[in-house]
């Protein structure tokens, strides 16, 4: 996953969506307390469902989302399912259409780990090395101090960028090889000192589950979580991933189909998927403190511990054991326990409103780095309505269009400058410039081209918190513009260097910069 995505959603959108007004919370509480009022409470719930449906329809149009599925649930049943639009193959979205869930995989993985904790096979405050003896970082002492709890709460100190996630090549031992690759990663903080969101934490949890159970992560997840919760459409293996339709990315603001991707270590951190009813069942189980119907998945105290934020993210939110604990709807009388996620071409969110006894799941088959806040606002805004409030407007990142405009302009200018230089190399014109001036001009152009190439390939992706490959994955328009600028800048530097050396050689040899014109003998001296 592009690692800053969750942080932007959590620290940005969650803050922006805090409303200005409060309504209906007192009425909902009174209706809940009055047993004789139960029949009358159905109408407000139905009205709220229609409001959510209308809002999601509007947001779908505003964000140009091709396909969407959502579900409203309580502790006992799915109240409402809505589907609209089409998938990446052009087929209508249904309640069985699979979507990738992105980082919503994290609370699912945390649920599997907490099951092992209840069984006494894992202890939250034991060192990760107790279960993964080969795990280390560049700072071996820091790695030895990392506990299971640190991984669950993103307080291990492992940085955002590790190179161990979002890998789509085949490996014999995906988790084992990814863990080995962390050995060169330098921690960004001491374990337990601060919250640093990193998908590598949950990659390690997937490896830990495999080490403890002696089974593949996908197999254990199926028997421990998916089957008990009747999540029969979940995508957690390459075979299941093959049936995923294309998702969509934004290219110059318009949706374009992109192939669904799958990382074999991803089911524990960001490449788990499934249909809307699968995720609805998961939300119901957590809303009911670990139970779905007669099936008990976790003890209530375990679920409460998961939902309780202990690692401070910012003033209004903390991170628990796989869940974000937010006060965005506190003015409406409810906590907000949620997680969002993004994978190439997809966005997902599950939002629990524990004090209302309801939850919302929203799946969208589009994603863009610069549209992250807008897509997250769709889910959080709908949850705000479900809680009895009014969502605020949310648009795309204001930097998106200026970045595209600048990138396009620079790419065109570099291509034009390179083309003109090549033309002058092939058809040189005369020049009276001194060798000093030629050398200085050449140096300026070479430095300019090299600087553009370095900035496009390294500096800009670094500012976005990713490598060039991840920028192309999550913001393909900007990503390929950066490739064009990097290649063009390198080419410009090379052709300008060749041109400069050619001019300097001619000046040294005393040769004219352009071919001499021959003069007919019979007109000589005329």
**Residue 325 and residue 404 in one domain:** no
CATH number at residue 47: 3.40.710.10
Which pLDDT band, with edges at 50, 70 and 90, does 431 fall under? low
Judge whether 152 lies within some domain: no
Q: Is the pLDDT reported for residue 42 higher than 50?
A: no
Domain stops at, among 331, 364, 386: 386
User: Quick check: helix, strand or coil at residue 71?
Assistant: strand
**Residue 407 and residue 380 in one domain:** no
Judge whether 520 lies within some domain: no
**Residue 332 and residue 417 in one domain:** no
Q: Is the pLDDT reported for residue 36 higher than 50?
A: no
The full 3-state SS of 241-266, as one line of letters, equals HCCCCCEEEEECCEEEEECCCCCCCH
Which pLDDT band, with edges at 50, 70 and 90, does 430 fall under? low
**Residue 405 and residue 300 in one domain:** no
**Residue 381 and residue 299 in one domain:** yes
Q: Is the pLDDT reported for residue 513 higher than 70?
A: no
Question: For the chain, what is the domain count?
Answer: 2
Domain stops at, among 386, 412, 432: 386
**Residue 31 and residue 92 in one domain:** yes
Q: Report the pLDDT value the prediction gives residue 1, as an integer from 0 to 100.
A: 45
Rounded alpha-carbon distances, angstroms, from residue 311 to 129, 317, 321, 323, 339: 22, 9, 9, 11, 15
What does the mean pLDDT of the chain come to? 90
Judge whether 74 lies within some domain: yes
pLDDT tens figures, 332-365: 999 999 999 999 999 999 999 999 999 999 999 9
∠ CA 169-323-344, nearest 5°, is 30
Judge whether 108 lies within some domain: no
**Residue 231 and residue 364 in one domain:** yes
Q: Got the DSSP string for 325-364?
A: EE-TTGGGT--EEEEEEEETTEEEEEEEETTTTEEEEEEE
Residues 6+ apart with CB under 8 A from 151: 128, 201, 202, 204, 205, 208
Judge whether 211 lies within some domain: no
**Residue 414 and residue 312 in one domain:** no
∠ CA 438-442-446, nearest 5°, is 175
What pTM value is reported for the model? 0.87
**Residue 97 and residue 239 in one domain:** yes
**Residue 364 and residue 454 in one domain:** no
User: Quick check: helix, strand or coil at residue 126?
Assistant: coil
Judge whether 517 lies within some domain: no
**Residue 282 and residue 422 in one domain:** no
Select from 253, 215, 315, 264 the least CA-distant residue to 105. Answer: 264
Which pLDDT band, with edges at 50, 70 and 90, does 120 fall under? very high
**Residue 379 and residue 404 in one domain:** no
- DSSP lists the bridge partners of residue 503 as none
Judge whether 465 lies within some domain: yes
Please enumerate, as own/partner, the contacts of 418-427 that have beta carbons within 8 Å and a separation of 24 or more: 418/488, 418/491, 418/492, 418/495, 421/445, 421/492, 421/495, 421/496, 421/499, 422/495, 424/499, 425/495, 425/498, 425/499, 425/502
Domain stops at, among 386, 410, 430: 386
Span between the terminal Cα atoms of the chain, in Å: 79
CB atoms within 10 A of CB 406: 12
Judge whether 504 lies within some domain: yes
Query: What is the domain extent for residue 339?
Result: 4-102+217-386
């Amino acid at each position: 996953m592009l690692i800053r995505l969750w942080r932007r959603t959590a620290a940005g959108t969650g803050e922006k969506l805090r409303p200005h007004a409060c309504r209906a919370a007192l009425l909902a509480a009174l209706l809940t307390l009055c047993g004789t009022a139960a029949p009358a409470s159905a109408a407000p719930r139905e009205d709220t469902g229609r409001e959510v449906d209308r809002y999601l329809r509007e947001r779908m149009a505003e964000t140009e989302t091709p396909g969407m599925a959502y579900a409203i649930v309580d502790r006992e049943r799915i109240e409402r399912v809505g589907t609209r639009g089409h998938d990446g193959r052009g087929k209508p979205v249904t309640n069985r259409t699979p979507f990738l869930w992105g980082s919503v995989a994290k609370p699912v993985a945390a649920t599997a780990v907490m099951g092992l904790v209840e069984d006494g096979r894992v202890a939250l405050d034991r060192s990760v090395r107790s279960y993964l003896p080969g795990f280390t970082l560049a700072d071996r002492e820091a790695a030895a101090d990392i506990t299971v709890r640190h991984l669950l709460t993103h307080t291990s100190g492992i940085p955002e960028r590790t190179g161990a996630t979002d890998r789509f090549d085949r490996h014999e031992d995906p988790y084992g090889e990814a863990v080995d690759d962390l050995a060169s990663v330098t921690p960004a903080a001491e374990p337990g000192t601060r919250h640093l969101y990193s998908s590598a934490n949950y990659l390690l949890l997937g490896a830990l589950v495999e080490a403890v159970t002696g089974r593949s992560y996908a197999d254990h997840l199926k028997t421990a979580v998916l089957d008990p919760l009747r999540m029969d459409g979940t995508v957690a293996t390459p075979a299941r991933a093959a049936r995923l339709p294309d998702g969509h990315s934004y290219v110059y603001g318009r949706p374009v189909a992109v192939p669904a991707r799958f990382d074999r270590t991803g089911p524990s951190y960001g490449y788990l998927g499934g249909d809307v009813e699968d995720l609805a069942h998961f939300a119901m189980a957590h809303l009911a403190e670990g139970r779905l119907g007669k099936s008990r998945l976790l003890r209530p105290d375990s679920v409460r511990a998961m939902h309780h934020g202990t690692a401070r993210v910012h003033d209004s939110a903390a991170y628990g054991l796989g869940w974000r604990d937010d006060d965005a709807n506190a003015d409406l009388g409810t906590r907000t326990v949620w997680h969002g996620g993004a994978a190439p071409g997809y966005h997902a969110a599950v939002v629990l409103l524990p004090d209302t006894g309801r939850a919302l799941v929203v799946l969208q088959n589009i994603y863009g780095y610069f549209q992250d806040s807008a897509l997250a606002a769709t889910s959080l805004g709908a949850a705000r309505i479900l809680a009895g409030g009014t969502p605020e407007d949310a648009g795309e990142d204001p930097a998106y269009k200026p970045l595209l405009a600048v990138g396009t302009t620079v790419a065109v200018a570099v291509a034009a400058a390179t083309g003109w230089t090549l033309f002058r190399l092939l058809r040189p014109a005369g020049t009276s410039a001194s060798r000093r001036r030629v050398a200085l001009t050449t140096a300026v152009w070479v430095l300019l081209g090299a600087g553009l190439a370095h900035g496009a390939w390294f500096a800009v992706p670094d500012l976005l918190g990713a490598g060039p490959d991840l920028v192309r994955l999550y913001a393909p328009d900007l990503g390929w513009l950066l490739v064009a600028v990097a290649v063009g800048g390198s080419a410009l530097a090379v052709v300008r260097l060749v041109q400069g050396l050619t001019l300097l050689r001619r000046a040294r040899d005393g040769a004219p910069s352009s071919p001499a014109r021959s003069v007919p003998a019979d007109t000589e001296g005329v």
